[in-house]
Chains A and B, each alone.
Chain A
Amino acid sequence: MAGKFCVSLTRSLDDPDRATVAFVVAGAAVASGQETMVFLSIEGVRLAVEGVADAIHEEGFLPLKQLMSSFVEAGGAILVCSPCFKKRNLDPAKLISGGVIVGGARLVEFLAQGAACVSY
């Protein structure tokens, strides 16, 4: 029954509501036995920097940092768009635990293998 599931997230501090719900849904996917990837691109890559997610706690939801860490602990993958990260002069040395900087080919490969994808 295991499938592949991708959550594409392009927001972070600019839209904490979207960023939060993306990880809530990603958590549901990995808890449901899906091989799950969150692909951070555009402004979403900021969440891959240690400490940035600490500032986000939407009313009615768990803190984003907790959502992200429980997602990774359950086996979810956080992939980070390389050119988006570089464009913003973010520091790879401060990458969050579980985060992996990748190029578009990894996303294309994952989706081409039949993954469903939802975007935030």
Chain B
Amino acid sequence: MNGRDGVDVDLIPHHDAWNAGDLACGPMLLALKGRLERLAPGQVFQLVTRDEGAPVDVPAWCRLTGHRLLRAAHPYYHLERRKD
């Protein structure tokens, strides 16, 4: 599976992954928050989302919450859980 940058996302190490399906905006972010919080600080999460708002929304959410956006290549996003 390749993101928009052509990278095979299966080769990017991550501790957990989630396909958000058709969820977007608040419902997706609430679910994403819960999943990130279950990880240990520094662990990597792979998000897959078809939400057309995600290329803008996911980086904004990371800035707000302190999680680090390692890579964004819609529909694939890799986030590092923030240090508490």
- By secondary structure, the A interface counts as helix
Q: How many pairs, one residue from A and one from B, have CB atoms within 8 Å of each other in the complex?
A: 46
B1-36 Cβ-contact flags toward A at 8 Å (1 or 0): 000000000000000000000010111011011000
The total of chain B residues at the interface (CB under 8 A) is 13
Q: Is B56 an interface residue (CB 8 A)?
A: no
List chain A residues, Cβ under 8 A from B23.
62
B61 engages A32 (CB within 8 Å): yes
The distance from the CB of B9 to the nearest CB of chain A, in whole angstroms, is 24
B56-75 Cβ-contact flags toward A at 8 Å (1 or 0): 01000100111000000000
A27 engages B30 (CB within 8 Å): yes
Given contacts A70-B30, A74-B30, A74-B33, contact A27 B65 (CB under 8 A): no
A33 engages B30 (CB within 8 Å): no
Q: Which residues of A contact B (CB under 8 A)?
A: 1, 23-34, 62, 67, 70-71, 74
